[in-house]
Chain A
């Protein structure tokens, strides 16, 4: 085993996901002198995606069957690569892509696995991981074992720019394996319901979570958003109830947003949500629970009831706009 770090590149429909850059940034920070950062890119006609990856080397596997994400193929390829390279650390995203692969590989190769990791830092000769657990209410810290370890990373620990490179890395093409026996195939994508607004391009987002309690209270929130000139979005519990369409979902299985201001109303701050808003310039949180994890992420906060605050804030905002 060497000190190399292997990163699995996540790409969906021809775009490299931000989490990849986060992982590369993490790898950059950890890699000691002489250690290589290797990125594993899988796809079809996707070599160009390797251009700005901040890796020392990119291993690229090309095959028509790998155009879209395939959990089985990715797992096999990753396992093979790990066996060949014997790296110190294998980084995958703690995402709907990485989490499908990590456990399979960990079980198959009998490698230890750390999931939901926020950051890894060096401490003397040890590598120490920090992971939020229990909905963000606790933080776990531990030393990575001295053997090849698989780690799935959450977004937010690093700025994605740190994982980009101006210089394209060296790309080595790997022989694609025999892929006829694949037991999983992607049939088709389903677009999110056609919606007027793309929340990823809005400067001011008014987000609602469980704290809104009932669907009728959405009116109050919409009023506030209108008064502020912002857009309403939501966390999973709200979308699951069909109070808002999935196009408004912000979170691990929804959209990642980077607005100028993110106003979080009645949102506790579970990691699945928080990971998608860490890019916001400013987060303001309204939650009656003074120890809600969202307050660790927000710049400003208040424990007032959102139903009391929203109408008053809307009125004042309207007054300002009139002036």
Chain B
């Protein structure tokens, strides 16, 4: 056989999948490309396979862009990174300085230990001694201070200023920034009589100070836990108390031309990093910043500060805890002292829901008798426990919020605690469950036989359980969230709170709807070949009542699915998936899900 014939025969051989993939992924070696090019030009079968690879890649990129990228947005707030990077840079600076001194010392030691004559050694020793003495003399003229020294000087300066007056009153005006919110506070403190007046002047970006109240409450709670003084937010002694009580791993004093700053880093507690700045001229504290464990950042800056005689002020200045008569201001202060339980509960629910904790963990949020909020729960791992605690840290610090989240190991060590969504355990027994007969018949009609049939039936069953279970868990959650508040609380909710509440309901009602759609599309071809159900949705119903009905309807479906496709120790086994009653109930559940969605959108 000549070479030409052999080449022709080779070009007629089908390409292997590996070869096709190399062509597809542009990695085919050059020497093979000619044969492949000729073959692909002639063979429709291989060309079709190649096109299928390309179609699959296109599908994947579609999925990646539409689903993985567009619908799972990264966090919008990455601000913690800058502070971490800056802190790391400073740590490395300190380490570099320290290692450069070590290197110098090592080279000096090597020099002294070198085999020089005794005269040279003595000369070197004297030279080193002279240098050390010179350095010490120079350094003694530069005032160096520790964090403790700075704080002591600040406290002393404040006391001496107060000591010169008979009835000293400290007047202080501060700007406080928490995340995106900024408020201005004016504080009067009667030092002798221990009286205090607080005024919130304005909140940047807010229509009124009411809206800033939750943020104020959060900061106040954090101050309380960290033993910082809400009445004197820039108090140097309280700052020192915090550094003593928290597990502070790093503390440094940075002396600038105008201010001296103390920075401290803690490994636990609600405050992870704090810095306080003092004016160099009189060691008066002028600014403070706190980086909180939940990644929020608090900045406090002094706008004005004076110590005056009480007689210089209006006589009624301390008559009311609030200085102005503004109703909004009074409301804000009231919020600060005792946060609204509806605000708190919505805040808690929102934070937990963002982490899918209401859905995936056994978490229960309830109201305590005194209007507070109690969060109880069991999570699988200590990492998850920390994640939830971090999310709730600033709220837990607020008066009235108690958090009691355990790991399963901790719970087992004490006493098993029942979660809110305890579902019956089911054992999948494909051959004995009554509905499995229909499943297998349908799959056989689709061409599945033997072991493929068994595995396909099992996969199908698990898929049904997944959809049914997800629908049920979300429906129960819709009911719980809808019933979290009383009728009067719902009526009196602010527009913002109402929107938050409805948003939570919408999210999970939406999930129920989608799960029911998927469940119907899976069940219908097997158990209801003809189109049944699909009632028109015309009724407009009360949201809370619809949520209750939805939960009951989905629970009934889940029960029927379980009875038909799996053996449950607590139920008798009969398949109802082919009955009119089941599909009627299914349509009702769908109708309720849409009704809840509709009502939550109003």
Specify whether A and B are partners: no
Interface residues of A, Cβ cutoff 8 Å to B: none
